[in-house]
Amino acid sequence: MVADETRNLRASLRRAERRRTLRGLGLTLPLILFTLVFFIVPIAGMLVKSVQNGPMPDILPQTSALLQPWRASAERGVPDEAVFAAFAGELRTASQERTLPELATRLNFENAGYRSLLMATARRLPEAPTGTWRETLTGINPQWGEVAIWAALGRASTRVTDNYLLAALDHRRDDNDRIQATDPSRAVYVASLLRTLEISGIVTLLCLLLAYPLAYRLATLPESTANLLMILVLLPFWTSLLVRTASWLVILQREGPLNDALRWLGLISQPLELVFNRPGVIIAMTHVLLPFMVLPIYSVMKGIPPNYMRAATSLGAPFFTAFRRVYFPLSLPGVTAGCLLVFILAIGYYITPLLIGGANDQMVSSLISFLALQTLNWGLAAALGTVLLVITVALYFVYSRVVGTDGVKLG
């Protein structure tokens, strides 16, 4: 009897426990799914894309296989007839099956003009060779008798590649697959990554300088006044990014209100150049991102009891000493969270530099968008994203070591 009851009790307890777990899971499931679908999967996809070579092993399988021993040979000449013959056959098939454009696009990443070379060759390819296939192809275009095009095909012939990651770091492989620095006239990606980090760093710093005193004031004011001021902080937050960016364009332009006011005050005689350059980008981005700094700092400061400062002062500490040794350390988690938030948002910025910046103020995201949408070079776009991700994660770790991210509050 007693044993039965214990068992019943245990069973119902377990059931209740399971129900609770299920309910908990059910409540968090949407978030887990959301994170998985919109965060983990795309990032994993990006990482995979950055080393995925392209369609050549599927479109030209035989040629790809035949090129491997050739790539391994120490001194590379033009490949032998077997490769030419296999290539000619597969080129015709690809042309008929309409997979050639995809391959031609991929090959054009290796060298501008290879897309046309491939398409034009396929158009003029005869059924049977006149002489050897090598003679036939070089007859169509002499480039087929050079090592460069075969080296490019060789680089495209594997499933996995480091080409894109190398390119994102301004390096490429030469005709013998040795890694070399990209020609300075075309080396843009490292500079653009550095520029992105520099702009983001400056914006983060400016946001911190502006937000800290503001948050302090908000946290120490009486509730009603603080709430009113808070609305002023949040107001731009609720306005569309595009509208805010466009407004800055109007305010900062040559004949804009800011320059007019400065001239009217007699502070300047010539209008200042504030748009289509770096200062404009930094001003606009700082404004747009400021709430992301104010809110975390404010929320942490709200939690610091005013008694601490009072106690420190009553024990004889001057205000600044009390602030430095008591208040500031307590507010650090907010600062950390704010800086991380602003910096991470800033490195992905796109629209603001696009509209307010000059040609030399474009962040890496504009290059990524160009590659992804215009030239369909998703490999390089993904590689740039990957490099950016690695840098961000590395910076985060350094930062958390130096400043510490314990107790970070994001709101």
Partner 1 sequence: MKTNIGRLVLVAGLTTGLLATAGAAMARDLTVTGWGGTAQAAQDKAMFQPYVKETGNKLVQDSWNGGIGVLRTKAQGDSTWDVVQVEADELALGCEEGIYAKLDWSKLGNKDEYLPGMAGECGVGTFVWSTALAYDKAKLGENGPKSWADFFDTKKFPGKRSLRRGPRQSLEFALLADGVAPGDIYKQLATKEGVDRAFKKLDTIKKDIVWWEAGAQPVQLLQSGEVVMTSVYNGRIFAANNADKTNFAIAWPAGFVYQVDSWAILANSPNKDEAMGFLKFIQTPARQQDVANVLAYGPTLKDSTGQIAPNVLPYLPTAPGVIEHGMSFNTAFWVDNIEALNERFNAWAAQ
* CB half-sphere exposure, 53, CA atoms < 13 A: 21
Contacting range for partner 1; rule: CB under 8 A; set: 73-81, 172-180, 190-198, 307-315: 190-198
The DSSP call for residue 131 is: S
What Cα–Cα distance (Å) separates residue 266 from each residue in 259, 262, 269, 358?
11, 6, 7, 28
Among 196, 253, 286, 331, binds partner 1 (CB under 8 A): 253
DSSP result, 70-94? HHHSSS--S--HHHHHHHHHHHHHH
d(CA 166, CA 187): 11
Q: Which two tokens stand for residue 238?
A: 């609720």
Read off the amino acid at residue 355. Answer: L
For the bound state, the minimum distance from the C-beta of residue 406 to partner 1, rounded and expressed in Å, comes to 40
Note whether 188 binds partner 1 by CB under 8 A. yes
Q: Name the residue type at position 94.
A: A
Q: Which of residues 274-293 bind partner 1 (CB under 8 A)?
A: 275-276
Tell which one of 78, 125, 187, 344 touches partner 1 (CB under 8 A): 187
Identity of the residue, 236 or 271, whose beta carbon is nearer to partner 1 in the bound complex: 271
* Strand-pair partners of 181: 171
Among 112, 265, 267, 315, the residue binding partner 1 under the rule CB under 8 A is 112
Q: Which is nearer to partner 1, 163 or 331 (CB)?
A: 163
Near partner 1 by CB under 8 A, which window of 74-82, 85-93, 104-112, 212-220? 104-112
Cα gap 216→381, rounded to integer Å: 42
Find the binder of partner 1 among 196, 245, 377, 386 (CB under 8 A): 377
Of the candidate residues 129, 201, 256, 348, the single one contacting partner 1 (CB under 8 A): 256
Residue 386 touching partner 1 (CB under 8 A): no
Q: What is the DSSP string of 162-193?
A: SHHHHHHTTEEE-TT--EEEPPTTT--HHHHH
Rule CB under 8 A: choose which of 7, 19, 23, 254 binds partner 1.
254
Of the candidates 145, 77, 152, 147, the one whose C-alpha atom is nearest the C-alpha of residue 113 is 152
Cα end-to-end distance, the chain, whole Å? 55
Piece of 252-260, 320-328, 383-391, 393-401 that binds partner 1 (CB under 8 A): 252-260
Question: Applying CB under 8 A, does 180 fall inside the site for partner 1?
Answer: no
Among 186, 302, 324, 325, binds partner 1 (CB under 8 A): 186
191 binds partner 1 (CB under 8 A): yes
Six-digit token string for 339: 């800086």
Instruction: Kindly write down the DSSP assignment for every residue of 335-395, as one continuous string.
Output: HHHHHHHHHHHHHT--HHHHHH--TT---HHHHHHHHHHTS--HHHHHHHHHHHHHHHHHH
Nearest residue (CB) to partner 1, 151 versus 274: 274
Stretch that binds partner 1, among 39-47, 96-104, 155-163, 205-213 (CB under 8 A): 96-104
Cβ atoms of residues 385 and 173 within 8 Å: no
Nearer to partner 1, 227 or 239 (CB): 239
* 358 lies in the site for partner 1, by CB under 8 A: yes
Binding partner 1 (rule: CB under 8 A), the pick from 274, 288, 300, 371 is 371
Q: Is 113 in the site for partner 1 (CB under 8 A)?
A: yes
Segment contacting partner 1 by CB under 8 A, of 13-21, 22-30, 155-163, 183-191: 183-191
Q: Which amino acid, one-letter code, is at 279?
A: P
Pair type for strands 179-181 and 171-173? antiparallel
Interaction mask 21-40, partner 1, x per CB under 8 A? --------------------
115 part of the interface to partner 1, by CB under 8 A = yes
* Phi/psi at 276 (5° precision): 60, 35
Task: Assess 58 for contact with partner 1 (CB under 8 A).
Answer: no
DSSP annotation string for 304-342: S-HHHHHHHHHTT--HHHHIIIIIHHHHHHHHHHHHHHH
- For partner 1, the binding residues (CB under 8 A) are 98, 100-101, 108-109, 112-113, 115-116, 119, 184-188, 191-192, 195, 250, 253-256, 275-276, 354-355, 358-360, 362, 367, 370-371, 374-377
